[in-house]
Amino acid sequence: MAPAASNEPPMFGAEPSLLADALLGAGLPAEAERHLDQAAGLYHRAELAEQHLYEARALAPDHAAVLIALYRFYFYKGRLEEALDVACSCLGKAARDNNLNADWHCVCASDADFSNFAAVLPRFYLFTLKAYAYLQMRLGDTDEGHAAVTKLLELDPTDKVNAGLLLGVWQRIGKSDDE
């Protein structure tokens, strides 16, 4: 049993802070922003939209707004392997931005302010790891997905990002609806 295709784990939430502005678009070159806008307007024409996303990424390869737009494009087009590749790029960016170990397996709860939901960069890391876990499960690597969910619950024991939902899905894999 795989998680439903329509339930994308959010990769970030809106915040009024300067850090959130940076995640949502501050510092994004105007030309890259124009390409993101054109991609959104051309979503129904996947090839053209994707070209604009590539142009935006060429102009701002490590900007969260570009990576998130590309992730969502692939996710909603059902191109989950490509969405996973972008989620991995986002996870790398989130690790760098939080000064964390590049290997998520080695990250500890004390490495960042994961317990503070208002701390935008640690929260971005958590949501990105959640997206990674979700996609791993959707693509059939349930062991990797479970490991990522377990790490999420270690980093966020109060489960502010709702990783417990993915844990529940993992626990139901292979069981009938009657069990």
What average pLDDT score do residues 97-110 get?
96
For residue 157, pLDDT over 90 is answered with yes
Lookup: tokens for 42:
């051309």
- Arithmetic mean of pLDDT over the chain: 86
Identify residue 83 by its one-letter amino acid code: A
Residue 1 has pLDDT above 50, yes or no: no
Q: How many CB atoms lie within 10 A of CB 34?
A: 15
Reported confidence tier of residue 171, pLDDT bands at 50, 70, 90: confident
Question: What span, in angstroms and rounded, lies between the C-alpha atoms of 91 and 26?
Answer: 20
Q: Does domain 18-172 sit in CATH 1.25.40.10?
A: yes
Among 132, 159, 128, residue whose Cα is nearest residue 147: 132
157 burial via Cβ count (<10 Å: 0-12, 13-18, 19+):
exposed
Question: Residue 145: its pLDDT value, please?
Answer: 95
Q: Spell out the domain ranges in the chain.
A: 18-172
Residue 6: the pLDDT is: 39
The residue type at 105: H
Q: Is the pTM of this model over 0.85?
A: no
CA-to-CA distance for 47 and 5, rounded, in angstroms?
Answer: 22
Would you say residue 179 has pLDDT above 90?
A: no
What are phi and psi for residue 26, nearest 5 degrees? -60, 140
pLDDT of residue 67: 93
pLDDT tens string 34-88: 999 999 999 999 999 999 999 999 999 999 999 999 999 999 999 999 999 999 9
Section 155-171 average pLDDT: 90
Instruction: State pLDDT tens for residues 5-29.
Output: 434 444 433 333 444 455 556 788 9
Report the pLDDT averaged over residues 105-111: 97
What percent of the chain has pLDDT above 70? 83
